[in-house]
Structure 1
């Protein structure tokens, strides 16, 4: 059978998704739309974390820190110039007079997050395993502390509220598509194979001439860019960003999405991110009715334990499912079933 182009399949899926987004935007109530938007944002976060944790084999918990940087930068750039002198009196005059459109502000937020990741990455990424996890977890508290104490720039613990509600399904869907495409192309490129080689055997990769530190920092910064963009989308969806909007608990939830989906699997990370977001939302009324608050986190922990015991590589491992192969197998089974049925009738 002729090999179909992955790019063609991607554009076909993107077109179908655009139609579904149009239908949802026209016919669903704001609460359901917000849940769908959170699904898209979590997909962006899980897939981008997969670049660092899945492709390169780093154990980073720093995504909430990069979301905080991206959220604040985007919020400051999109705030109306008339409100900035009152809310943020220490802002430079040139920045206080700016009122950027949403897209450049999101890109700026992502670039600032990537810059922080690159600067922090030089000392931090020399660590390994749980030492790296603790260091990136500490980055969350450092960024939260800066956001709390620089109240002339960030409004301190009060945060920035009343942000313009700029995020909608189209913005989330567009950035989700871009994240999936970039990660897919990266995984199947020479750079992606270099990252996978570092994850599998760092010493062997170094002996073959792979620049270990440079590749690690690049993966760390690229994941941080999309995390910063997701932070900006989140802030302008809920119209609020505070120093504690993105906590270390959220960092563990993102890691769980990557582990359950399969470390290195883009499809698995995206699918599990969507499932866990919906499941968490559906369990909230159950928690309130029963009075067992936090039971959703308990169920999540049990699910992780079961996956680690019975399927340690996650849902898909490092592989990506071939949709066309699945369709071909399903059609083959249907044809076989129809042929057997006709033979019995004869």
Structure 2
């Protein structure tokens, strides 16, 4: 006889995976600008890792060029949302119509995503012919190209000095609204016929092609969709930091997103949230150790970089002992967030009975 588990109880999911995280996020945003910025960065990291998982986890390809699409989104957002007077003085090389325009953030995000998707389309047509590590190296080359263009276009991007003074319009509520909307779209996409085709291509490309799946179209389309959400995330990141430059969107940024994806699980959109939780908050908690600490009466000296070393060790352990990531292919988070049953369980008597049975470890009734 099967025993009722907590994860099978919609009421338990509502409390632990919806209400409790929402309360923690709301509380953190009210603790000051530092914590609010950390939570906003956490949400952006989720969006970045989830969009990367569309390619790396569900299509069978392995891209390392996410930072390039972030950069495109961040700079397009700056062009569209900055004050016209500031653009005229800082970016005189922009066309006059682009200098005069100033859009709301939510409208600008659409154009940021489309611009990143267009770059992905242009680079994807020749690059997606590669497979395995050849594709990874090619997408790393895209980062170098984008960085070179940004650093050498003085009148358009202000060169290596970057763009400062971006309007701080990406508040935590706005970011979480964009995140949840994006995750819902990605979740429905993966659960659709299109998503099943992607998974078939990942598992066996020859069998998928024999069933009539156009592999080239699938690869290019999911690469562009992934880039779209990366461009949106890059725009949000730029407005949180208020300063953007080509140096921020280089190898280190791409490697960080890949780490988040691997830790949480590449074959799971929910894994992006778990990986982001580790990569955003754990290094901050470990940072005080770098200035020295006392353990068992022994005072250890300052060890700069200790938090990075510990996170690297953790990543190695995950790769060795949990190769599929912490969540594997589970979608327990998104299934809880976007399921009607989760929210209606609050008004159903049988859900309370099921939760009580889970506490008592009683078997399911047939």
**TM-score, normalised to structure 1's length?**
0.88
Q: Secondary structure at the match of 1:90?
A: coil
Post-superposition offset of 1:320 = 2.1
The whole-number CA distance in structure 2 between the counterparts of 1:302 and 1:196 is 31
Aligned ranges 1:76-225 → 2 under 5 Å = 76-225=79-228
CA-based RMSD of the aligned residues comes to 2.6
Aligned ranges 1:205-284 → 2 under 5 Å = 205-284=208-287
The whole-number CA distance in structure 1 between the counterparts of 2:87 and 2:264 is 42
Post-superposition offset of 1:127 = 0.5
The whole-number CA distance in structure 2 between the counterparts of 1:77 and 1:108 is 9
The whole-number CA distance in structure 1 between the counterparts of 2:91 and 2:243 is 15
Q: Secondary structure at the match of 1:184?
A: helix
Q: Is the 8 A contact 1:64 1:250 kept in 2?
A: yes
Q: 1:327 to 1:307 in 2, by over 3 A?
A: farther
Mapped pair 1:314 → 2:325: yes
Post-superposition offset of 1:135 = 0.5
More displaced, 280-289 or 117-126? 280-289
The whole-number CA distance in structure 1 between the counterparts of 2:161 and 2:285 is 30
Post-superposition offset of 1:296 = 2.5
Which of 61, 66, 78 aligns to 1:63? It is 66
Runs of 5+ in structure 1 lacking a partner?
338-346
The whole-number CA distance in structure 2 between the counterparts of 1:44 and 1:155 is 28
The whole-number CA distance in structure 1 between the counterparts of 2:198 and 2:359 is 40
Partner of 1:340: none
Q: Secondary structure at the match of 1:55?
A: coil
Runs of 5+ in structure 2 lacking a partner?
293-300, 337-341, 343-350
Q: Secondary structure at the match of 2:124?
A: helix
The whole-number CA distance in structure 2 between the counterparts of 1:14 and 1:221 is 30
Post-superposition offset of 1:254 = 1.3
The whole-number CA distance in structure 2 between the counterparts of 1:14 and 1:331 is 19
Post-superposition offset of 1:141 = 0.9
Q: How many residues get paired?
A: 330
The whole-number CA distance in structure 1 between the counterparts of 2:302 and 2:225 is 41
